[in-house]
């Protein structure tokens, strides 16, 4: 037995060594994202205990040394000797790869699901990790360093409580950064709290003075999640529609509410894990929605016999919905293994939503009418848009031969060499045309405010002159017809004034790209030009500063005196062509910011867009300020 134990032990260490050799295989990356993954992994184990019905509170602390502590009030990880491994179960959890959730059995598990790699992976990637378990009247403790056991599990005291406490310090040898971001953890823990009704999660940052604390506790669960997503929008009715039930071992929850916007924000989850690619649960939800509302519309004669059915898209216009299911053995399929494959999930969601939503509409005819009316409006717009598109096609909207009149195109036809500047205003557009390198740089001046595509229906959007000009110039088409291989410019560069209006225009353009041709952003084709804020002239020499700090440091260098002439640029229009070239357009000297979508799998992306572009005035200001977050800094 002693020998066997030794053999196991060696195998165990090899297992964790593999994790340290190829961390990316287990946690995706060693970037900031991978670092935060460690916390989710540990928290998810505690959430499993909550889902099993034994834990009501989880406390997360970011400690001053950037270690993290997670505490739950569950039963405590079992400490008895694991029959197969011959060591305490808790040691199995932390030292054997993929041991997470293998004992105890049954129930739905967050950990060990899509991303769940187990506590042992966190242990392997931590400089040190300590676990304390309160159970059976005692407190047990064990410490590991880079995955290696420092001493056998020992009792260190008495207690009348139960629970688990884990503290770990991510290994600086493994991660690019070991500094935790409070907001990143906040967003994820809030989401977890929404998805786990009645579970209370506290997050405390002990690095700040005073400490920063947030509590997430939602008795209403995903109902409150929907209210939260709609918080800056105009909901079309007060109640959030909610369906809940269990069928064939699948626990189903759906919450939804329409708002006055035109976009759908549906998020689906399996065992608390976001499934951005959807799958069977989402399919079931969509078929049920379409059927229930068409039945209602026909039954109430809101839709005449000879009229077409409302399409799923019509019914989902302005819809905010959460579909959350719990299933014992989720199967993920598709290229990225992210689509839920269990067909039983489709039938379960479909039947529960069918039954409960039908009942809800009967009980709440006013709400039913609002939704059906909205969908009928959407249906009309869809038909109008189809006509607009047909007209557009006939007038060669996407034909290269009829490029927009105000586009000054470049002569090189190889997209890899080419870039297009979208320039705010005709006067700056004129300077840019003079300044540019005609071979590779095209200029498209944009006049006035750009249409906010969050606030307009497709039929109106497609007849807008600026939008049409961009679609034609890019060459890719939009939505389902989008084809990146037809892109005529490798770089699409937004050049606006360095002021609030400029930021707003940039935002509107990004929103248009995000909604109509998101691949442009995903594949890194969209950039923001960075015009200077100041020009400093002294004794016939001059400098440009792109920020207040830079101006300050230049002044320090050249000395402050009366010979200094400082010009503050209020807009691109104040620069002549040569200055514009030198500061903003010359590929050898300019700074471009490449636009990236922050963590697209998180509902927060849409929140950023919707929050900031929605109907209510107040939040929009935030957007302009929050813009930098959406934009990743990258020198090109
Ligand atoms: F695994 C871990 F280290 F990541 C971790 C696990 C971290 C934290 C903060 C908590 C936990 C955890 C595990 N909390 N509660 C549990 N529960 C169990 O492991 C457990 C307890 C009792 C029984 C039983 O059948 O009696 C079964 C299990 C799985």
pLDDT (mean) for 464-473: 92
Q: Which residue has the higher pLDDT, 278 or 622?
A: 278
Share of the chain above pLDDT 70, in %: 86
Q: Extract the tokens encoding 385.
A: 């848009």
Q: Decide if 48 is catalytic.
A: no
46, 123, 166: residue to mutate for ligand 1 pocket, most atoms within 8 A of CB: 46
Nearest C-alpha to atom 29 of ligand 1 is from which residue? 104
* CA 226 to mean position of chain CA atoms: 16
Share of the chain above pLDDT 90, in %: 63
pLDDT surpasses 60 at 599:
no
pLDDT (mean) for 576-603: 80
What pLDDT, on a 0 to 100 scale, did the predictor assign at position 315? 97
Q: With bands split at pLDDT 50, 70 and 90, how would you rate the model's confidence at 589?
A: confident
Q: Decide if 171 is catalytic.
A: no
What pLDDT, on a 0 to 100 scale, did the predictor assign at position 584? 93
pLDDT (mean) for 55-66: 98
Tokens 């790209």 correspond to: 513
- What DSSP string describes 427-454? HHHHHHHHHS-TTTEEEEEE-SPPP-TT
Q: What is the residue-averaged pLDDT of the chain? A: 87
By the 8 A CB rule, do 96 and 120 touch?
yes
Boundaries of CATH 3.30.565.10 in the chain?
7-217
Q: Decide if 550 is catalytic.
A: no
133 CA from centroid of ligand 1 (Å)? 9
Which region among 52-56, 294-298, 303-307, 502-506 has the lowest average model confidence (pLDDT)?
502-506
pTM for the predicted model, two decimal places: 0.72
73 CA from centroid of ligand 1 (Å)? 10
**Of 224, 253, 409, 497, which is the active-site residue?**
497
pLDDT in tens, 128-171: 999 999 999 999 999 999 999 999 999 999 999 999 999 999 99
Which ligand 1 atom sits nearest the alpha carbon of residue 41?
Answer: 4
Q: What is the CATH number of domain 7-217?
A: 3.30.565.10
Q: Which residue has the higher pLDDT, 421 or 590?
A: 421
**Of 49, 253, 424, 454, which is the active-site residue?**
424
**Torsion angle defined by CA atoms of residues 543, 544, 546 and 552, in that order, rounded to the nearest 10 degrees:** 30
**Of 65, 483, 501, 519, which is the active-site residue?**
501
pLDDT surpasses 60 at 636:
no
- Per residue, the 3-state secondary structure of 331-386, as one string, reads CEECCCCCEECCHHHHHHHHHHHHHHHHHHHHHCHHHHHHHHHHHHHHHHHHHHHH
Q: With bands split at pLDDT 50, 70 and 90, how would you rate the model's confidence at 598?
A: low
Q: With bands split at pLDDT 50, 70 and 90, how would you rate the model's confidence at 116?
A: low
Boundaries of CATH 3.40.50.670 in the chain?
402-531+592-630
Which helix (H) or strand (E) element contains residue 212?
Answer: strand 212-217
Q: With bands split at pLDDT 50, 70 and 90, how would you rate the model's confidence at 110?
A: low
CATH of region 222-385, choose from 3.30.420.40, 3.40.50.1100, 3.40.50.720, 3.30.230.10? 3.30.230.10
Boundaries of CATH 3.30.230.10 in the chain?
222-385
What pLDDT, on a 0 to 100 scale, did the predictor assign at position 367? 97
45, 61, 144: residue to mutate for ligand 1 pocket, most atoms within 8 A of CB: 45
Domain 402-531+592-630: give its CATH architecture: 3-Layer(aba) Sandwich (3.40)
pLDDT surpasses 70 at 482:
yes
What pLDDT, on a 0 to 100 scale, did the predictor assign at position 618? 33
39, 47, 77, 123: residue to mutate for ligand 1 pocket, most atoms within 8 A of CB: 77
Q: Decide if 501 is catalytic.
A: yes
Residue 133 Cβ contacting ligand 1 at under 6 Å:
no
Closest CA to 77 of 123, 18, 35: 123
pLDDT surpasses 50 at 603:
no
Q: With bands split at pLDDT 50, 70 and 90, how would you rate the model's confidence at 104?
A: very low
Q: How far apart are CA 341 and CA 280, in angstroms?
A: 6
pLDDT surpasses 50 at 389:
yes
What pLDDT, on a 0 to 100 scale, did the predictor assign at position 279? 96
pLDDT in tens, 438-464: 999 999 999 877 898 888 888 888 888
Q: With bands split at pLDDT 50, 70 and 90, how would you rate the model's confidence at 522?
A: confident
Nearest C-alpha to atom 28 of ligand 1 is from which residue? 104
pLDDT (mean) for 564-572: 89
Residue 358 Cβ contacting ligand 1 at under 6 Å:
no
What counts of helices (H) and strands (E) characterise the chain? 20, 24
Which ligand 1 atom sits nearest the alpha carbon of residue 131?
Answer: 3
Q: With bands split at pLDDT 50, 70 and 90, how would you rate the model's confidence at 393?
A: low
Tokens 């839920």 correspond to: 340
Diameter of the chain measured on Cα atoms: 87
SS3 state of residue 44: helix
Q: With bands split at pLDDT 50, 70 and 90, how would you rate the model's confidence at 311?
A: very high
Closest CA to 592 of 424, 420, 451, 430: 420
What pLDDT, on a 0 to 100 scale, did the predictor assign at position 14? 60
Q: Extract the tokens encoding 325.
A: 């299911």
Nearest C-alpha to atom 7 of ligand 1 is from which residue? 42
What pLDDT, on a 0 to 100 scale, did the predictor assign at position 401? 52
- Per residue, the 3-state secondary structure of 450-482, as one string, reads CCCCCCCCHHHHCCCHHHHHHHHHHCCCCHHHC
Closest CA to 569 of 593, 586, 544: 544
């Amino acid at each position: 037995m002693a020998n066997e134990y030794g053999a196991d032990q060696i195998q165990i260490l090899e297992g964790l060594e593999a994790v340290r050799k190829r961390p990316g295989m287990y946690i995706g990356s060693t970037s900031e994202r991978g670092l935060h993954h460690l916390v989710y992994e540990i928290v998810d184990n505690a959430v499993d205990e909550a889902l099993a019905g034994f834990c009501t509170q989880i406390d997360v602390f970011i400690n001053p040394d950037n270690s993290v502590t997670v505490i739950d009030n569950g039963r405590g990880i079992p400490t008895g000797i694991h029959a197969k491994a011959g060591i305490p179960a808790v040691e199995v959890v932390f030292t054997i790869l993929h041991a997470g959730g293998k004992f105890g059995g049954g129930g739905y598990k967050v950990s060990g699901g899509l991303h769940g790699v187990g506590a042992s992976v966190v242990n392997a990637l931590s400089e040190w990790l300590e676990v304390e378990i309160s159970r059976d009247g005692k407190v047990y403790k064990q410490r590991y360093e880079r995955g290696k056991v420092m001493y056998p599990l020992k009792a260190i005291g008495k207690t009348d409580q139960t629970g688990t406490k884990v503290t770990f310090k991510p290994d600086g040898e493994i991660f690019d950064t070991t500094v935790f971001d409070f907001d990143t953890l906040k967003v994820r823990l809030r989401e977890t709290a929404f998805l786990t009704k009645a579970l209370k999660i506290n997050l405390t940052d002990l690095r700040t003075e005073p400490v920063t604390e947030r509590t997430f506790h939602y008795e209403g669960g995903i109902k409150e999640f929907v209210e939260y997503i709609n918080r800056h929008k105009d909901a079309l009715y007060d109640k959030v529609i909610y369906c809940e039930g269990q069928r064939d071992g699948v626990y189903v929850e759906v919450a939804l509410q329409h708002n006055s916007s035109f976009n759908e924000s549906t998020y689906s989850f399996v065992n608390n894990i976001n499934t951005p690619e959807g799958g069977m649960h989402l399919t079931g939800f969509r078929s049920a929605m379409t059927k229930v509302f068409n039945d209602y519309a026909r039954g109430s004669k809101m839709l005449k016999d000879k009229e077409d059915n409302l399409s799923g898209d019509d019914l989902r216009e302005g819809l905010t919905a959460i579909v959350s299911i719990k299933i014992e053995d989720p199967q993920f399929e598709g290229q990225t293994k992210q689509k839920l494959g269990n067909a039983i999930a489709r039938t379960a969601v479909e039947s529960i939503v069918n039954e409960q939503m039908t009942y809800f509409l009967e009980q709440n005819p006013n709400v039913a009418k609002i939704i059906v009316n909205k969908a009928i409006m959407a249906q009309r717009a869809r038909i109008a848009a189809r006509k607009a598109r047909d007209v557009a096609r006939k007038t060669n909207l996407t034909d290269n031969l009829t490029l927009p009149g105000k586009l000054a195109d470049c002569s090189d036809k190889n997209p890899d060499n080419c870039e297009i500047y979208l320039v705010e205003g005709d006067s700056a557009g004129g300077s840019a045309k003079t300044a540019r390198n005609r071979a590779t740089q095209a200029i498209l001046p944009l006049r006035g405010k750009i249409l906010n595509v969050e606030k307009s229906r497709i039929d109106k959007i497609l007849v807008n002159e600026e939008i049409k000009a961009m679609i034609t110039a890019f060459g890719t088409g939009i939505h389902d017809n989008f084809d990146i291989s037809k892109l005529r410019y490798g770089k699409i560069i937004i050049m606006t004034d360095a002021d609030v209006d400029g930021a707003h225009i940039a935002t509107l353009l990004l929103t248009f790209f995000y909604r109509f041709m998101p691949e442009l952003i995903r594949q890194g084709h969209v950039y923001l030009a960075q015009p200077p804020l100041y020009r400093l002239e002294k004794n016939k020499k001059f400098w440009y500063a792109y920020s207040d700090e830079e101006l300050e440091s230049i002044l320090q260098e050249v000395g402050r005196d009366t010979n200094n002439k400082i010009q503050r640029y209020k807009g691109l229009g104040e620069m002549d062509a040569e200055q514009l070239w030198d500061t903003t357009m010359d590929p050898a000297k300019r700074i471009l910011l490449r636009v990236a979508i922050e963590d697209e799998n998180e509902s927060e992306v849409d929140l950023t867009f919707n929050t900031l572009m929605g109907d209510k005035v107040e939040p929009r200001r935030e957007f302009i300020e929050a813009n930098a977050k959406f934009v990743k800094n990258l020198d090109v």
